[in-house]
Structure 1
Amino acid sequence: MTFHEVFQHIVRFMKKDPTGRYRLIFGTDSQIHPTYTRFITGIVIHCESKGAWACIRKVVVPRKMTNLHERISYETTLTEEVVSMFTEDKKNQLINIVLPNIYKGSSFTIEGHIDIGANSQNKTRMFVNEMVGRMESLGIEPKIKPESFVASSYANRFTK
C-alpha cells in the first residue's frame, strides 16, 4: 500500500466513530536471520473498546546486524521515518475528525512504541534515555516494554 492508501484507511476508520478515543501508534521490531536482518514497522490506529486497523512496512538489510545499539537505533530510525510521513497537515486532518466531539469524550494521541525495556535484566536498558528522547523530539509519546505492544508484539510477529 502507498502512504496515501494507509492514511485513507486511518481516516475512514476514525470517521466511523468520531466520538472515539483514538491512539495512532507506531513501532518497529527486528529479527536477525542467517544472511539478513528483517525490520517490521507497525502502524496501528486503535479505538478504545472498538477495535483497531493496522498494517506493516517491511525493510530488509542484507546482513546480520549483531550490534544491539545499531539495531535498536535503526528500529527507532524506521519508526521516525514513518512518523515523519504524518505531517502537521495530516495530523490536523485526523485531529479535526475528533475535535468536534472532545466534550463527548473523544481524543486522539500519537505514540511511538520502542522495543526496549528499563528493568535490570533487559540488555537494552542502557538505550532507553536515548531512544525515548528521540521519540519525544518528534512530539509523540514514547512507550517502552511492557507498554510497547506494537513493537514487541504486533511488529514482532512479522519479523520471523
Structure 2
Amino acid sequence: MRPYEFQNLSYKNMDFTQVFSHIVAFMKNEPKGEYKLMLGTDSQVHPRHTLFITGVVIQRVGKGAWACFRKEVVDRQMTTLHERISYETSLTEQVASLFTEQHKHQLIDIVLPHIYKGATFTMEGHIDIGSGERNRTRVYVNEMVARIESLGMEPKIKPDSIVASSYANRYTK
C-alpha cells in the first residue's frame, strides 16, 4: 500500500507525519483555544473516473484553521450512491486511523493545562449526507453515523459536515 500524500495551497506531497506536525504547531500557537479536528470526504463522478477528496481541518473556533487534503482516484464511474457514500466514509475512516491514541493524547496534552480557561479538543467525522426529507442520502445516515461513532469521533451530517460538503467538495471538480 502506498503512503498517504496530502497537500494544500502551500505544501505538496506531505506525508502524515508532516500533516500532524502542522496540526501540533497550529495548536501550540494558541493552546488555550477551542479546537476541532475535522475529517471528511467528498466525491465527484467524472467521465472516466471518480475523484475522492478527504479533507483534514484543524479549526481554532472563531480564530482560523489549517487544512489539507488527500486525493484518491478510482478508475471508473461510481454511479451507485450507496457505494460512493460508503467509500467516502471508508476513506474518512482510513485517515482517522492514522490518528493513533498516541497522536490524540499528544493533541489533548496541548490543551489539557488550559481546560479550566476554556480550552477544548474534539474530533469530528464529517459525512456528506443529509437527513432531510428530499435528500436521497437520508437512508444511509444511521449506517454512516454508526461507523464514525465506532471510531470515537463525533459524526456530523449536512448542514454541519462542512469539511466534506464544502472544503473537500471544492477540490473534487
TM-score range, shorter chain: over 0.9
CA distance in 2, matches of 1:111, 1:48: 13
Residue 15 (structure 1) aligned to one of 17, 28, 33: 28
The aligned residue for residue 42 of structure 2 is 29
SS at match of 2:44: strand
Residue 51 (structure 2) aligned to one of 26, 34, 38: 38
Uncovered stretches (5+) of structure 1, i.e. residues with no partner = none
TM-score (norm 1): 1.00
Write the letter of the residue equivalent to 2:137.
Answer: T
Higher relative contact order (CA 8 A, sep 6+): 1
Write the letter of the residue equivalent to 1:149.
Answer: I
Aligned ranges for residues 128-143 of structure 1 at < 5 Å? 128-143=141-156
SS at match of 1:92: helix
Q: Percent identity?
A: 68
**Cα offset for 1:50?**
1.1
TM-score (norm 2): 0.92
2:17 matches 1:4 = yes
**Cα offset for 1:67?**
0.4
CA distance in 1, matches of 2:62, 2:73: 34
SS at match of 1:138: coil
CA distance in 2, matches of 1:3, 1:30: 21
CA distance in 2, matches of 1:117, 1:105: 31
The aligned residue for residue 102 of structure 2 is 89
Residue 140 (structure 2) aligned to one of 121, 127, 151: 127
Residue 66 (structure 1) aligned to one of 79, 91, 105: 79
Size of the alignment, in residue pairs?
A: 160
CA distance in 2, matches of 1:132, 1:120: 17
**Cα offset for 1:49?**
1.4
CA distance in 1, matches of 2:58, 2:34: 10
Write the letter of the residue equivalent to 1:107.
Answer: T
Task: Kindly report structure 1 stretches of 4+ aligned residues shifted beyond 3 Å.
Answer: none
SS at match of 1:77: helix
